[in-house]
């Protein structure tokens, strides 16, 4: 990597405030919550960087969710996310204000934007972090993420370059409380976009027609693993989910078996979830899966192997055959609901 940065010239924590269609993305709020925590530890301001067309009204919400300052960059050409333009504006602002930390949600937009921004700013980036903290002695962002196929958790620092950048996957951090009375400084910056800056034109964008709750927002999840992937057990899992108002999720091998969609795969290469109730049915508890459920409040695990790793994560463990246990649970719920 090229020349080291003068780290003393950089101050403040920045969050990229992703929005689409004039609506703040949930991941932007999750980043604000963590950003607030980091800024408080460092004793600096938290700044949200908001790009789009006519998005200024969202700045008040960003303040209410924890930002001290909001940088608003508005231009009709920023209405839809475009890699080159968003990279240019974020880098211009960061070059000017010199934040010491910049965190971005690892959404499809964040994953596209972040490497380009970090390259242009001549700094490093730790992707897909599961925890962020501050080493106050050195004023370093301490980023933790799974490495080597999830077999170790790596702690990564960026001592010589600024800003220290990390991305965090959706669902890892909670959305902070919205405080209506909070006040902050909102700055609308000048945006200059030359015709030569525009090399890509968006002809059309369309939304996926998927229905139902995103598994990341689910309050209850009944999850299928290979040990409960037979027809009887899976039907019982679907029935339990429908009876208790839960979503069905599962492990990667169940996605590979085409039993469930990749959109509901939970874990390192799937989604991170934070439900109130997580029922793990026939799931071994491999680290690549459990990394996605570390924020689940109450875990019920069913596995025929009493020594299965998943029981270490469970509030309640049931050792036995999934088929028998799941069909008994269906009967029991129906009996209770009919009373």
Q: Cβ-closest residue to ligand FAD?
A: 227
Min dist CB 336 to ligand FAD, Å, is 23
- Interaction between residue 284 and ligand FAD (CB under 6 A): yes
Q: Which is nearer to ligand FAD, 82 or 289 (CB)?
A: 289
User: What does residue 257 show for φ and ψ, rounded to 5 degrees?
Assistant: -80, -5
- Interaction between residue 303 and ligand FAD (CB under 6 A): yes
Q: Parallel, antiparallel, or unpaired for β 19-20 and 23-24? A: antiparallel
Cβ neighbors of 244 (< 8 A, separation 6 or more) are 220, 222, 277, 333
Show the 3-state SS of 144-201. Answer: EEEECCCCEEEEECCCCCCCEEEEECCCCCCCCCCCCCCCCEEEEECCCCCHHHCCCC
Q: Lay out the site mask for ligand FAD across 195-234 (x = CB under 6 A, - = otherwise).
A: ------------------------------xxx-------
Q: How far apart are CA 246 and CA 338, in angstroms?
A: 19
- Interaction between residue 11 and ligand FAD (CB under 6 A): no
Region of 10-18, 89-97, 164-172, 248-256 interacting with ligand FAD (CB under 6 A): 248-256
Q: Which is nearer to ligand FAD, 183 or 307 (CB)?
A: 307
- Interaction between residue 149 and ligand FAD (CB under 6 A): yes
- Interaction between residue 189 and ligand FAD (CB under 6 A): no
Q: How far apart are CA 12 and CA 162, in angstroms?
A: 11
Return the residue of 269, 277, 300, 333 that touches ligand FAD, per CB under 6 A: 269
Q: What is the dihedral of CA 64, 20, 30, 150, to 10 degrees?
A: -170
- Interaction between residue 265 and ligand FAD (CB under 6 A): yes
Distances (CA, A) of 217 to 68, 112, 162, 327: 27, 23, 33, 27
Min dist CB 265 to ligand FAD, Å, is 6
Q: Which residues bind ligand FAD (CB under 6 A)?
A: 149-150, 225-227, 251-254, 265-270, 282-284, 286, 288-289, 302-305, 308, 321-322
């Amino acid at each position: 990597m090229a020349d080291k940065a003068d780290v003393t010239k950089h101050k403040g924590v920045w969050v990229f405030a992703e929005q689409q269609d004039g609506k703040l993305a949930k991941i932007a709020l999750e980043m604000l919550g963590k950003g607030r925590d980091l800024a408080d530890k460092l004793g600096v301001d938290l700044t949200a960087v908001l790009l789009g067309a006519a998005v200024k009204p969202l700045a008040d919400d960003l303040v209410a969710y924890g930002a001290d300052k909001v940088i608003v960059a508005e231009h009709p050409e920023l209405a839809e996310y475009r890699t080159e333009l968003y990279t240019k504006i974020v880098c211009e602002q960061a070059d000017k204000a010199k934040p010491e930390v910049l965190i971005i949600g690892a959404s499809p937009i964040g994953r596209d934007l972040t490497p380009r921004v970090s390259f242009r700013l001549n700094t490093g980036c730790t992707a897909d972090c599961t925890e962020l903290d501050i080493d106050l002695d050195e004023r370093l962002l301490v980023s933790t993420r799974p490495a080597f196929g999830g077999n170790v958790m790596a702690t990564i620092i960026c001592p010589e370059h600024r800003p220290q950048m990390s991305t965090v996957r959706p669902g890892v951090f909670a959305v902070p409380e919205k405080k209506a009375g909070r006040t902050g400084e909102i700055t609308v910056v000048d945006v200059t976009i030359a015709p030569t800056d525009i090399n890509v034109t968006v002809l059309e964008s369309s939304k996926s027609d998927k229905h139902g709750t995103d598994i990341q927002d689910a309050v209850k999840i009944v999850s299928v693993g290979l040990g409960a992937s037979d027809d009887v057990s899976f039907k019982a899992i679907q029935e339990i989910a429908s009876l208790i108002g839960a979503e069905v999720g599962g492990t990667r091998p169940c996605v590979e078996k085409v039993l469930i969609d990749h959109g509901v795969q939970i874990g390192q290469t799937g989604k991170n979830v934070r439900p109130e109730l997580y029922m793990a049915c026939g799931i071994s508890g491999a680290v690549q899966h459990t990394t996605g459920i570390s924020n689940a409040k109450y875990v019920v695990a069913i596995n025929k192997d009493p020594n299965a790793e998943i029981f270490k994560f469970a509030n309640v463990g049931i050792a036995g055959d999934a088929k028998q246990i799941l069909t008994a649970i269906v009967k029991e719920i129906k009996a209770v609901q009919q009373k």
